[in-house]
Structure 1
Amino acid sequence: MAKVIDVMDIDDDNGNFNSAKPNLKGKNVVVSAAPPDTRATPWVEKYRPQSLDDVAAHRDIVETIDRLASGNRLPHLLLYGPPGTGKTSTVLAMARKLYGNKLQNMVLELNASDDRGIDVVRQQIQDFASTQSISFGGKSAVKLVLLDEADAMTKDAQFALRRVIEKYTKSNRFALICNNVNKIIPALQSRCTRFRFAPLDAVHVRDRLRHVIESEGLDVPENGMKALVQLSNGDMRKALNILQSTHMACQQITEEAVYLCTGNPLPKDIEQISHWLLNEPFTTSSQRISEMKTRKGLALVDIVREVTMFVFKIKMPPAVRIQLINDMADIEYRLSMACNDKLQLGSLIAAFTRARGSLVAAGT
């Protein structure tokens, strides 16, 4: 006798338990218990957590969602936070636990950055939500609509979605995933239970990277691991992409190899640049930084960003530090607007020249 999957049971409006036709709209959801083991598979997918136990970080959130789902009390969900923190993986792992091999029929997965207009809500989502649920053990289960990058949806689409959620709450649950929760209208936020996924701690990034490194048989010394964790900034997806790209380019994944493959300046280069900015005349600093930038193929915006972080390590009065960081934030913004690199390099050196004068005046 087949094992009955424990899912949330629900009746239709007439008290019947009917089976739905397979849903053919939206994205297909991967059902396999283990990720495909092929060399062409990106490691972010190959090593995506397949169960809730595999989601190492944010255990308090994961366990809360697991209890709600297992107790047939799952609400509509709004998961938000920076990229690569496990939002989508958590929802998909929960869906696998609930629906098992019926996952493709019970889950509609859409990326709202692609399917972002009101027509998608009126057609794909409403059509899926209005169909009868697949029967489990004589009863029909609620279906799941997963909207990734929901903050890319238009306002009209969000208002239309609010009405769909109200109308089909009895037979559907909606999971909205986004980076910027402020772009989700209050009417949708109020209908969901919100969970914030913060950037991953370095220990969680390191543990997951170590698992991948052992599985792939990679040669990663400690300085390479430190560089991977440092550059990921709490984004597991970014860490795995850097690891895989560096592995494709270099046999040994050292610190220098990681920074070379990502185009980021090495920490020792940032220390050297900061020394020039704080000690050398304007012309000398400009010449030396330009030479290093050209020789190593560095982007000025990356130099400014890393020097900004290095400023926090330098001993200086708080007022001087705040002014210097504000100046560099302005420079980084102008660089993002495609302003001339040479002019902005001059602005960077001028900002440090002013800070140097303030330090001398303060006797630091």
Structure 2
Amino acid sequence: MPELYKSRVLELNASDDRGINVVRTKIKDFAAVAVGSGRQGGYPCPPYKIIILDEADSMTEDAQNALRRTMETYSKVTRFFFICNYISRIIEPLASRCAKFRFKPLTEDIMNNRILYICQEEGLSLDSDALATLSSISQGDLRRAITYLQSAARLFGSSISSRDLISVSGVIPEDVVQALYSACRSGNFDLADKEVKNVIAEGYPVSQMLSQLFDLVVEADDISDEQKARICKKLGEADKCLVDGADEYLQLLDVASKTMQALCNLPQELCYES
């Protein structure tokens, strides 16, 4: 019932409506109005309204603090739903007032069944390799998978290959990742520097390179857990620096040198001087 939904549910994208003024006006005014219970238009209605804040982790800290007071005041007549990617960006007073539900990525079978249904309805041709690639690069996110599929269909037509999907997804080709990893294993700093410069020159996102390097290192069987831990620690530090606006070339070069140091058991000073 559209009229009932409009009066009972307020849905906001917090990445757009994320300022303190939105909390003090739109959210507070909606939360303050009481509603009746019983059946309306044949629908059972609970005695409260719902406010949904999508991408709530994009809200400013001041807005979240203002929202805390609103939640306390109107909790009897309004329920709040926060949808976020990073719960660590929700302030603790808000997080502690909520029941947390974590949704896992979809399984490969569910992803494949839905993608094949879409391909059948849209007249697209997707072979088994392309389907496996799409499932891998979307990492259980069906919306992302559909976006990649749509982009590939627009650019390459109805017959879509694994290479087409990789080109539209921004995923770095495995041979590029492997070349950088092999250069680090060689112990030759100049070779590693050359591969780093190739990555930057090709325009590949360094954050994506760090993610794929992480997968490669974790799955490697020929290096020790201690070496993996040292490399992964540096990958995490570099990723944080990139989020804070650090230079991509310098961060990837630092990762390469620290990876070389861990893989070749080199002292730090020798790693940089080689």
Fold-level match, TM-score > 0.5?
Answer: yes
* Partner residue in 1 for 2:246: 338
Aligned with 1:196: secondary structure? coil
Pairs within 5 Å for 1:308-327: 308-314=214-220, 315-327=222-234
- Deviation at 1:262? 2.3
Within the alignment, does 1:202 sit opposite 2:108 as a pair? yes
State the AA in 1 paired with 2:143: R
* Partner residue in 2 for 1:111: 13
- Deviation at 1:148? 1.6
Higher relative contact order (CA 8 A, sep 6+): 1
Distance of 1:101 and 1:356 partners within structure 2: 63
Distance 1:202 1:124, change over 3 A: same
8 A Cα contact 2:207 2:242, kept in partner: yes
* Partner residue in 1 for 2:31: 129
- C-alpha distance after superposition, 1:327-351 (max 9, x if no partner): 344444445533261x445434433
- C-alpha distance after superposition, 1:23-44 (max 9, x if no partner): xxxxxxxxxxxxxxxxxxxxxx
- Deviation at 1:136? 0.2
Aligned with 1:195: secondary structure? coil
8 A Cα contact 1:113 1:153, kept in partner: yes
Distance 1:101 1:215, change over 3 A: farther
* Partner residue in 2 for 1:176: 82
Distance of 2:99 and 2:238 partners within structure 1: 39
* Partner residue in 1 for 2:272: none
Within the alignment, does 1:248 sit opposite 2:150 as a pair? no
Within the alignment, does 1:347 sit opposite 2:254 as a pair? yes
- C-alpha distance after superposition, 1:134-153 (max 9, x if no partner): 87059865332212222333
Unaligned runs of 5+ residues in structure 1 are 1-98, 360-364
Distance 1:280 1:250, change over 3 A: farther
Distance 1:245 1:159, change over 3 A: same
Distance of 1:223 and 1:201 partners within structure 2: 17
Distance of 2:187 and 2:96 partners within structure 1: 56
* Partner residue in 2 for 1:282: 189
Pairs within 5 Å for 1:71-90: none
Distance 1:351 1:180, change over 3 A: closer
Distance 1:331 1:224, change over 3 A: same
* Partner residue in 1 for 2:167: 260
Between structures 1 and 2, the one with greater helix share: 2
Distance 1:107 1:259, change over 3 A: same
State the AA in 1 paired with 2:13: N
* Partner residue in 2 for 1:238: 144
- The count of aligned residue pairs is 259
State the AA in 2 paired with 1:120: V
Distance 1:140 1:301, change over 3 A: closer
- Deviation at 1:310? 0.9
8 A Cα contact 1:133 1:140, kept in partner: no
8 A Cα contact 1:116 1:152, kept in partner: yes
- Deviation at 1:109? 1.0
Q: Which moved more, 1:133-142 or 1:195-204?
A: 133-142
8 A Cα contact 1:225 1:255, kept in partner: yes
Distance 1:144 1:250, change over 3 A: same
8 A Cα contact 1:286 1:345, kept in partner: no
- Identity, % of aligned positions: 31
- Deviation at 1:244? 1.5
Distance of 2:230 and 2:28 partners within structure 1: 53
- Deviation at 1:214? 2.5
TM (normalized to structure 1)? Answer: 0.60
- Deviation at 1:156? 4.3
- CA RMSD in angstroms, aligned pairs only: 3.2
Distance of 1:355 and 1:147 partners within structure 2: 44
Unaligned runs of 5+ residues in structure 2 are 267-274
TM (normalized to structure 2)? Answer: 0.76
8 A Cα contact 2:206 2:248, kept in partner: no
Aligned with 1:193: secondary structure? coil
* Partner residue in 2 for 1:148: 54
- Deviation at 1:176? 2.2
* Partner residue in 2 for 1:303: 209
* Partner residue in 1 for 2:269: none
Distance 1:259 1:122, change over 3 A: same
